[in-house]
Each structure stands twice: as C-alpha cells, then as structure tokens.
Homo-oligomer: A and B are copies of this chain.
Amino acid sequence: MTTTIPKFKLASRVSQEEDTIITVKGQHIGGPHTTVIAGPCAIENEYQMLSTARAVKTSGATILRGGAYKPRTSPYSFQGLEEEGLELLKKAGELVDLPTVSEVISTETFDIVEKYVDILQIGARNMQNFPLLKRAGKSNKPILLKRGMSATIEELLMAAEYIMSEGNMQIILCERGIRTFETYTRNTLDLSAVLAIRELSHLPIIVDPSHATGRHEMIRPLAKAAIITGAHGLMVEVHYQPEIALCDGPQSLKPEAFELLMRDIEHLRDFNTQMLNIKSK
C-alpha cells in the first residue's frame, strides 16, 4: 500500500532504507535489537534509585530510566528532585553499568540534563514544543521522543524531522497510548502505530505500556504484544514499592513482576529467532 505522507524527509524510509541503529555505551537500539528501558517514574532518593537499578539490571534491562524533572498536571504534585535526581541516576547507571535516560522539559535545563544522562527524553506533552525539539537537534546524544497523546503518526514523524533537520539523527520514537473516549485505561495503546512507523520510517520505535494503560496488571501482556508486533523495545516503570511511589504508583511494576516480564521477552526473542529460522529454510 502506498503512503500519502510526503512531508517528512530525513525521518522517511524513502531517504534511508535500512533501519537506524543507535549505540549508547555498548547498547544497541533499533534494527534487530530489543531494548528494555526500566526504572522509576520519579527518582525519589538514593535507596530507591540504586535498589531499583540493581533489580532491573539483574532482570536484564538494557537502559536505566528515572525522572528528575517531572511534568505534572498539578502544580501541587511532586515536581522531581531536579539536579540532585540526575546525580543519583548517573550514580546508579555507573553502579550497574547501564546507559541512562531522563526527561528534559525545557531548553533552559537542557544542558544540565545533557551533562548527566546518556539519552534525553522528550515527553508526550512536549512533542510539539518546537524550541525544545530544535535544541535536541543540536545535541550529540540520542533523543527518546514520545508520541503526544493526541498526535497523529504523521505529526510524530514531523516532530522527529524537527530534531533531524538540526543535525541530530539519533532518535528513538515511543508509542505510549493515545487519548480516546475509553476511560477504563488511562490511554489507548495503538500498536498499529508501531507497524506504520516501521513502514514509513527507519527510526527505532519502542512502546511504553505503563503510560498507555495506567494499570500495572496490563503491562506484561501488552509488553509481549508490542514485541511480537515488531517494536524495537519497551519502556517500563519499575518501583521497589509502588504503593508508596510519589508518581504513577498504579502503573508501576514491582521488581519481581518486571523479572517475569523480562523472562517472557527473552523467550519471545528466542521464539522470533526460531520463527525466522523456520522461514528462512
């Protein structure tokens, strides 16, 4: 089926046929690789960050996440530890030897986040914060760009184009659910977007089932679904004690649940490899 989306160039499969593969501290993202980004929604303190880091590393996560600047709907909610949080994330990343990712929410604090982390995340609410995208385009670090909650697939790729048009080609896209009329889940996970993006673009596309559903019990099955659909990886919120989390507790996995998810993903990778072998015979 021919596509009728001509407005992005650098992000388009037309301009680059082979998959983009991004390498950060020995971890490869895109192409045949399966990335698993895990960690707490918000960095709360040293014990929480380090113990979660150890747990997710042990289970097989490939990138460590943790929020230091938190975009919260209410000004009265916990806004993040800011630089102090970034220091804890960096320390945790070094301890468990994993690259780190954290969200950047303004051009003003871009430099400081850039200094501490290996990958910079631009969140759903900032997907069309164009000055932030342009600043990201001047960074030499990879950008994890999340789909806005009412952004079309085309708009997501146009947002990537903003970054690329400034020179930064290392972009990881992330489907995290879109806003619909259904209220049972926080958002509606759109797995067809994974397929559309793989068709239209060479950029890696991962899936965040935590924000997509807002329900911890749905994360594991939808993580498997994302991988089998063709996502290049996952982003999952893990907290050692979700009941006391300062942010997004209901959608965070305990380390034991994350371990089970990782076993599933591992088997699924073997399964996919077997399937490829069967097909190539």
Residues of A within 8 A of B (CB): 1, 7-8, 71-76, 105-109, 125-126, 128-132, 134, 149-150, 152-155, 158, 161-162, 165, 178-185, 188-193, 195-196, 199, 212-213, 215-218, 221-222, 224-226, 228-230, 250, 263-264, 267-268, 271, 274-275, 278
Contact = CB atoms under 8 A, between A and B. Distances in A.
Contacts of A153: 182, 184
Copies of chain A in the complex:
4
Contacts of A71: 128, 130
B152 A131 contact: no
Question: Among the interface residues A125, A152, A181, A190, which one has the most CB atoms of the partner chain B within 10 A?
Answer: A181
A129 B130 contact: no
Contact of A152 (B184, B218, B274): B184
Q: Summarize A's interface: helix, strand, loop or mixed.
A: helix
A152 B74 CA distance: 13
B181 A196 contact: no
5 contacts: A76-B165, A178-B182, A191-B225, A221-B229, A228-B228
A190 to B, nearest CB: 5
B125 A105 contact: no
A190 B182 contact: yes
A108 B111 CA distance: 13
Contacts of A188: 178, 180, 188, 190, 192
Given A75-B161, A149-B150, A184-B196, 10 more contacts: A106-B106, A108-B131, A150-B150, A150-B179, A153-B184, A178-B188, A183-B183, A189-B191, A195-B221, A224-B229
A75 B192 contact: no
B154 A184 contact: yes
A217 B180 CA distance: 24
Contacts of A215: 1, 192
Contacts of A182: 152-153, 178, 190, 193
A196 B174 CA distance: 23
A134 B222 CA distance: 35
A155 B77 CA distance: 14
Nearest to A107: B108
Contact of A195 (B178, B180, B217): B217
A191 B192 contact: no
A205 to B, nearest CB: 13
A59 to B, nearest CB: 16
